[in-house]
Structure 1
Amino acid sequence: MVRLTRAQQQERTRAAVLVAARQEFAEHGYGEAKIDRIAERAELTRGAVYSNFTGKRALYLAVLADLAERARASAEPPARSPDSVARALGAFARVWLERLPLAGDTPGSGHLQLRSLSGVLDTEPTRAALAELVRFEALLLALALAPRTPPRTRTVRLAGLALTLLHGAASLAENAPGAGDPFDLARAAEHLADLAPLDDAEPPHLPFVAPARSTRDQWQAPGAPRDEIDGRPVDLGDDGVVVVLGVCRLSAADEALRSARPDDKVTLVVVTSDPSELGRLARLRVVDLVGCLRRVFAPGELPRPRVVFDDDGTLAAAIGPDPADDFTETAIRVHAGLIVARAEGRGAGHAVATAPSHRYDAADPSRAYPAADPPSEADRVKRRPR
């Protein structure tokens, strides 16, 4: 007889709860679902359910996130990306609209298929986080539409309009399944490319952001977290910019990416003080969007920034001086194993991305020199120990 470890048993219990909860939500919907019935379906106690999930909302978000993870894992990438923004928007819309429920689906199963949040987010923190996530989704879609350039306001607004169209169609389908023709909606998404939203100037607060502080701190990158966009491990020791953002500050990713240098590797670390609900909400929305992007854009055309979820705060603790919360914004620039610039607070990502460029002595990376004045070989010889 094989004896399971405690971690294996907990994972088995959690999986059983998720299966039972998915059945309960499909039959009764979120509002009428009961934790007691979920426990009975899973042949567990009510306490076993609550030992893995803090409540019904956390459990519902976990079910939706699990569905999104499965969809992303099964996504087949195309051989090449669409050859225009209009075709890309149309292809993305067609993939996204596959989730619309049919007339014969039960309300509960239709809501699960739509990843519906209707009636679920009834607290101010969750609603504020969703608003930031919507902006973040538009940014990621815009980066896929124009993968070789920094995000432009026009493209981000265009992506936001497309997502608004699709979520509007989903909202209608929740109450009137079968309403709205997906092919007409996809064509409408294509025609959005003909619009010309204004390209605004940079956000007005950026000129007042304090410059990043120059540092020479040793950087020990903790672990190799997974990039949620391409699924590969992220080496946080790579030269580039790391920006830690709370779920209620995700829109600041836009200004950090606009300010980054063309050759910078930018890693966006998502943190929260409430991983059971806000963390799962963030994972649901990002994973769901990426699952669609993977079916439309070739792997090399996916958004370039690396997106990492720091559920336990390990990365944030290694980077910033303060505990991470939902409004955190902290950033560092890494070069040659050193943290060479730091910033905290509003505009931190922009401040670090625009920190003055330096070259570093390969023999002694702790010494920094202005980019226009690198050390000569004679200088290096003088500094070598005798």
Structure 2
Amino acid sequence: MRMTRAEARERNRRALLDAAFQVVSRDGYRARLDEIAERAGLTTGAIYSLFGSKNGLVVALVADYLRPYYEEIEQAVPAGLDLLEAVDAFARYYRRSCDAPDARSGLSLQITLLDMALHDPDLGAQLATSIRSQESHLIALFTGRSHNGSVVTSHQAQRLTTALRALFVGLSQGVPLGLAPGADEQYFADAARALASGMSLIDHDADAS
């Protein structure tokens, strides 16, 4: 059956994203568009047509990589849990992801993207915007949950999400490097609960107004 133009475009997009994951994870900011295109069986013109630029391709790559991850988190943290229970479930999911078959390639991509962002501030700003848009899923996941007799606001959930991301990124980098001995699911959950319990969830913006 003949492929429609939309189907062909999506197939080419998928091929370029898969090729970009391999090349960018290995070469970082030195990644060459001609090699990415060759691996995908396409031309560099297809990259510009679909993504606009090399930076556009990298930003799309990050969004593509993170999207299923955030969707899985929503499945791992069911409704009806209070805030600390939700944080516990999120922490355990995050720790399990450290043992996934693609965990090392994901860590390599994460470190490579940081290096690329440092070399190219414009790309860094685009990546930050893309990642923040994905993190809106997490903010929504924690918003409205009960905690200490009150309900978590979206601003409070945003502050918590920022802190949890810093905690988990650091721990997940330490696990494969041997810098987090004994950091099993329970450790991740205990650390996350302690952070959520101990940090001030006061809505500072509301206090200042």
Asked whether 1:187 is paired with 2:160, we answer no
Residue 8 to residue 156, structure 1, CA distance change in 2 (3 Å): closer
Give runs of aligned pairs for residues 174-323 of structure 1, distance below 5 A. 177-180=177-180, 181-183=183-185, 184-195=187-198, 197=200, 199=202, 200=204, 202=206, 204=208
SS of the aligned residue for 1:164 comes to helix
Q: Which of 82, 85, 90 is matched with 2:83 structurally? A: 85
User: TM-score, normalised on structure 1?
Assistant: 0.41
One-letter code of the match for 2:153? P
Q: Distance in 2 between matches of 1:76 and 1:162?
A: 16
Q: Which of 36, 50, 55 is matched with 1:38 structurally? A: 36
Say if 2:139 and 2:161, in contact at 8 Å, map to a contact too. yes
Q: Which residue of 2 aligns with 1:9?
A: 8
Gapped regions of structure 1 (runs ≥ 5): 207-386
Residue 101 to residue 59, structure 1, CA distance change in 2 (3 Å): farther
Q: Which residue of 1 aligns with 2:62?
A: 64
Residue 84 to residue 149, structure 1, CA distance change in 2 (3 Å): closer
Q: Distance in 1 between matches of 2:160 and 2:47?
A: 42
Give runs of aligned pairs for residues 103-142 of structure 1, distance below 5 A. 108-112=105-109, 114=110, 117-121=113-117, 122-123=120-121, 126-127=124-125, 130=128, 133=132, 139-142=139-142
Say if 2:77 and 2:89, in contact at 8 Å, map to a contact too. no
Q: Which residue of 1 aligns with 2:171?
A: 169
Q: Which residue of 2 aligns with 1:322?
A: none
Q: Distance in 2 between matches of 1:97 and 1:47?
A: 40
Gapped regions of structure 2 (runs ≥ 5): none
Say if 1:101 and 1:178, in contact at 8 Å, map to a contact too. no
One-letter code of the match for 2:55? R
Residue 196 to residue 3, structure 1, CA distance change in 2 (3 Å): closer
User: TM-score, normalised on structure 2?
Assistant: 0.69
Say if 2:87 and 2:192, in contact at 8 Å, map to a contact too. yes
Residue 61 to residue 98, structure 1, CA distance change in 2 (3 Å): farther
Percent of pairs with identical residues: 26
Residue 70 to residue 173, structure 1, CA distance change in 2 (3 Å): same
Aligned-pair distance for 1:72?
A: 5.0
Q: Distance in 1 between matches of 2:136 and 2:77?
A: 26
One-letter code of the match for 1:41? R
Say if 1:29 and 1:111, in contact at 8 Å, map to a contact too. no
Say if 1:139 and 1:151, in contact at 8 Å, map to a contact too. no
SS of the aligned residue for 1:30 comes to helix
Larger radius of gyration: 1
CA offset digits 1:18-44 (Å, max 9, x no partner): 222223234x14234221111111121
Say if 1:89 and 1:189, in contact at 8 Å, map to a contact too. yes
